[in-house]
């Protein structure tokens, strides 16, 4: 009920009702005021006997009697005529002026917050993204407008900050391999560095690093635009996890790290390549933060219509304030930067986007049983994942 009363339509109807009431009140006051004034003036010119008779007629409600009009014609002229043009015009002018004044005051009260939003929008368009509109006691549609504008301005501000970080990250990640390539190629051209197979391999690794960054950026762009093509099929989650762990276990990156696997089944309707990319990104991240001889726990579980995948390491964990930022492109924790750990800062961002494309969710938190971090992915299982899947877009 309160929301209905605070709507603009209700307020305009209320304004129209107030103006109508003002017009009626002014008309009645004018009519009875003029009638009383005319009666007062007339009675000054009447003898006592006529005054007593007139008052007696008024007290008995006989204002429209022939005798009442006869007394008016004799001592005061014609009685007041409600249909007299001059009288009606005067009442109309007074009503319009008084009603218009009230309407202007109420209209300004209604339009003030809308004007504030318009001015704030112009400020945001001019580049000032810190502008917000004070809501005060405004409610109804105007209150919703202010809330929506403030939320939009906050989103734009956050987007611009992320864009700045993203641009700086792209610049930084591309500059390093390009600088190495440029310097060593100049050295080869100047015959300062011998063009040996080992040197070619060193340069090739930098080119491959650039290629991975470009491919990750392409995938992120497609995911943000909702155009990421997925080759979906029914998959056993455990098979994907086993294959990813086997790939890492045989590589030198995971040397000295033990994998503790516990699988409970579950099937999802997803892209095997992208799901493998999700798991490998989490496993690689866990290996990077695990101490020598540490254990990485990889588990799967089925709960209702969902399949849960967890990857937990025994590293130092992360600061609580980093949870909101770790999925931002190119963001890396201060500890990683100080320790010089490898990585572009795109892995977790890409993982989150791919999980979202599979209609799932990802959560990061510190372990409660010991030091370390755990990443939990929740995906819709079986038929539920198929029903939640939108049509494929190329």
Inside any domain, residue 217: yes
262 in the same domain as 149: no
Of the two residues 162 and 77, the one the predictor is more confident about is 162
62 in the same domain as 148: no
| Single residue among 182, 206, 224 that ends a domain in this structure | 224
Provide the pLDDT for residue 123: 86
pLDDT score of 233 more than 60: yes
pLDDT > 70: percent of the chain: 77
Inside any domain, residue 394: no
pLDDT tens for each residue of 102-159: 777 777 777 778 888 888 888 888 888 788 888 776 667 777 888 888 888 888 887 7
CATH number assigned to the domain comprising residue 157: 1.10.287
Is the alpha carbon torsion for 76, 79, 85, 87 positive or negative? Answer: positive
Of the two residues 250 and 219, the one the predictor is more confident about is 219
Are 50 and 44 in contact by the 8 Å Cβ rule? The answer is no
215 in the same domain as 89: no
pLDDT score of 381 more than 90: no
pLDDT score of 390 more than 70: no
Inside any domain, residue 393: no
The dihedral region occupied by 365, where left means phi > 0, alpha psi between -120 and 50, and beta the remainder, is beta
Provide the pLDDT for residue 301: 93
Are 300 and 381 in contact by the 8 Å Cβ rule? The answer is no
Mean pLDDT of the region 20-25: 75
User: In degrees, to the nearest 5, what angle opens at C-alpha 169 toward C-alphas 167 and 171?
Assistant: 70
Q: Is 310 helix (H, G, I), strand (E, B) or coil?
A: strand
367 in the same domain as 245: yes
pLDDT tens for each residue of 317-360: 887 777 777 777 766 655 555 454 555 667 788 888 899 889 99
204 in the same domain as 83: no
| Total-model pTM | 0.56
pLDDT tens for each residue of 188-200: 888 888 888 888 8
pLDDT tens for each residue of 59-68: 877 766 777 7
pLDDT tens for each residue of 167-178: 766 776 677 778
309 in the same domain as 266: yes
201 in the same domain as 162: yes
Provide the pLDDT for residue 285: 87
Q: Is 196 helix (H, G, I), strand (E, B) or coil?
A: coil
Residue 296 pairs in a beta bridge with: 259
Q: Which domain, by its residues, includes 195?
A: 141-224
CATH number assigned to the domain comprising residue 251: 3.30.565.10
106 in the same domain as 60: yes
Inside any domain, residue 323: yes
45 in the same domain as 187: no
Provide the pLDDT for residue 98: 73
DSSP state of 375: E
Distance CA 271, CA 235 (A): 8
pLDDT tens for each residue of 273-318: 889 989 988 998 898 888 888 899 999 999 888 999 999 999 888 8
Distance CA 98, CA 24 (A): 12
81 in the same domain as 13: yes
| Single residue among 96, 128, 160 that ends a domain in this structure | 128
146 in the same domain as 124: no
Inside any domain, residue 133: no
pLDDT > 90: percent of the chain: 14
Distance CA 317, CA 290 (A): 10
Inside any domain, residue 118: yes
Q: Domain total for the chain?
A: 3
Inside any domain, residue 325: yes
In this structure, what token pair is assigned to residue 37? 């004034």
Confidence of residue 4 (pLDDT cuts 50, 70, 90): very low
Confidence of residue 1 (pLDDT cuts 50, 70, 90): very low
Provide the pLDDT for residue 28: 72
| Single residue among 173, 192, 224 that ends a domain in this structure | 224
Provide the pLDDT for residue 275: 92
Provide the pLDDT for residue 10: 67
287 in the same domain as 353: yes
Sheet containing strand 361-366, strands side by side = 258-262, 295-303, 306-312, 373-380, 361-366
Provide the pLDDT for residue 172: 64
Inside any domain, residue 392: no
Confidence of residue 373 (pLDDT cuts 50, 70, 90): very high
Q: Are strands 295-303 and 258-262 parallel, antiparallel or unpaired?
A: parallel
Provide the pLDDT for residue 87: 60
Provide the pLDDT for residue 342: 54
Chain centroid, CA 368 distance in Å: 33
Mean pLDDT over each residue of the chain, to the nearest integer:
78
Provide the pLDDT for residue 338: 46
């Amino acid at each position: 009920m309160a929301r209905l009363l605070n709507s603009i339509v209700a307020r305009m109807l209320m304004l129209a009702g107030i103006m109508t009431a003002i017009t009626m009140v002014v008309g009645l006051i004018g009519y009875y005021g003029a009638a009383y004034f005319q009666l007062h003036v007339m009675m000054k010119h009447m003898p006592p006997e006529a005054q007593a008779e007139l008052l007696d007629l008024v007290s008995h409600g006989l204002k429209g009697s022939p005798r009442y009009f006869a007394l008016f014609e004799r001592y005061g002229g014609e009685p007041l005529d409600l249909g007299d043009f001059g009288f009606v015009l005067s009442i109309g002018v007074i009503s319009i002026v008084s009603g218009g004044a009230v309407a202007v005051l109420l209209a300004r009260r209604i339009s003030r917050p809308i004007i504030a939003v318009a001015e704030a929008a112009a400020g945001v368009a001019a580049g000032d993204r810190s502008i917000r509109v004070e809501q005060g006691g405004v409610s109804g549609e105007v209150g919703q407008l202010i809330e929506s504008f403030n939320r939009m301005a906050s989103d734009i501000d956050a987007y611009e900050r992320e864009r700045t970080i993203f641009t700086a990250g792209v610049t930084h990640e591309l500059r390093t391999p390009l600088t190495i390539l440029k310097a060593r190629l100049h050295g080869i051209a100047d015959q300062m560095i011998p063009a040996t197979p080992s040197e070619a391999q060193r340069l090739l690794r930098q080119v491959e690093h650039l290629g991975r960054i470009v491919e990750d950026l392409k995938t992120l762009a497609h995911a943000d635009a909702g155009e990421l093509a997925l080759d979906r099929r029914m998959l056993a989650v455990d098979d994907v996890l086993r294959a990813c762990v086997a790939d890492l276990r045989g590589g030198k990156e995971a040397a000295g790290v033990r994998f503790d696997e516990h699988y409970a089944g579950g099937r999802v309707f997803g892209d095997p390549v992208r799901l493998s990319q999700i798991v490998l990104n989490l496993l690689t991240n866990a290996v990077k933060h695990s101490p020598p001889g540490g254990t990485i726990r990889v588990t799967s579980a089925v709960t209702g219509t969902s399949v849960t995948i967890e990857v937990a390491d025994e590293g130092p964990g992360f600061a609580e304030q980093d949870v909101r930022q770790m999925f931002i492109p190119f963001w890396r924790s201060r500890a990683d930067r100080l320790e010089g750990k490898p990585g572009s800062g795109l892995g977790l961002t890409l993982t989150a986007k791919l999980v979202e494309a599979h209609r799932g969710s990802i959560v990061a938190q510190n372990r409660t049983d010991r030091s370390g971090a755990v990443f939990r992915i929740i995906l819709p299982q079986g038929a539920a994942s198929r029903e939640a899947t939108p049509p494929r877009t190329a």
